[in-house]
């Protein structure tokens, strides 16, 4: 994962001084000119929206470069939502249903060898013999809406996941 310090930083005051040059920025007494003050006042309202956009851009860059790998996704989620304590944990487990034949009708498929009695019955409406569920264990005080949106951006189709708060 690349370092976010590689992003370019924009210093509005230095950029304004370079644009106006020293001749129009500083008078003979060493103070800022009225033209520089006026341009600085016009740019002052743009500084905070640009900082917000820059934070959003860095967050989206991290999400876009994150892959559906447990270690990398844990690092990104902890860095974005819990950087001080790193309490977000991702666990992956395979769940196998114990009784697929508990329905009141016969199954249409069964798993077993040719001469054996059927051991496991599979129903027709999408029951599976085993599936993998990815569980995100997240502290309850975090912003769950934003975290859910981030996981949905990174998530791969077909892999079920759930977010559990503690």
Tell me how far apart the alpha carbons of residues 24 and 14 are, in angstroms, rounded to a whole number.
Answer: 13
Compute the 3-state secondary structure of the chain and give helix, strand, coil in percent, each to the nearest 5: 45, 15, 40
Burial readout 110-144 (b: 16 or more C-beta within 10 A, e: otherwise): eeeeeeeeeebbbbeeeeeeeeeebebebeeebee
25: part of which helix (H) or strand (E)?
A: helix 12-25
Interior CA angle at 135 toward 164 and 102, to 5°? Answer: 95
**Tokens describing residue 63:** 């999400």
Residue tagged 């370092």 (tokens): 3
Give the pLDDT of the chain (166 residues) as one tens digit per residue: 556 666 778 888 889 989 998 888 889 898 999 999 999 999 999 999 999 999 999 999 999 999 888 899 999 999 999 999 999 999 988 766 554 455 565 555 555 666 666 555 555 555 566 677 899 999 999 999 999 999 999 998 878 899 999 9
On whether the CB atoms of residues 65 and 146 are closer than 8 A, the answer is no
Q: What is the pTM of this model?
A: 0.65
């Amino acid at each position: 994962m690349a370092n976010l310090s590689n992003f370019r930083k924009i210093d509005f005051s230095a950029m304004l001084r370079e644009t106006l040059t020293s001749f129009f920025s500083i008078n003979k007494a060493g103070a800022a000119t009225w033209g520089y003050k006026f341009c600085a006042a016009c740019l002052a309202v743009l500084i905070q929206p640009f900082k917000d956009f820059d934070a959003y851009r860095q967050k989206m860059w991290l999400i876009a470069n994150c892959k559906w790998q447990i270690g990398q996704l844990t690092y990104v989620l902890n860095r974005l939502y819990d950087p001080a304590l790193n309490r977000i944990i991702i666990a992956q487990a395979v769940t196998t249903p114990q009784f697929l034949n508990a329905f009141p009708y016969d199954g249409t498929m069964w798993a077993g060898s040719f001469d054996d009695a059927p051991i496991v019955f599979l129903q027709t409406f999408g029951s599976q013999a085993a599936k993998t569920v990815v569980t995100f264990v997240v502290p309850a005080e975090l912003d769950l809406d934003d975290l859910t949106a981030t996981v949905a951006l990174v998530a791969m189709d077909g892999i079920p996941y759930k977010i559990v708060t503690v």
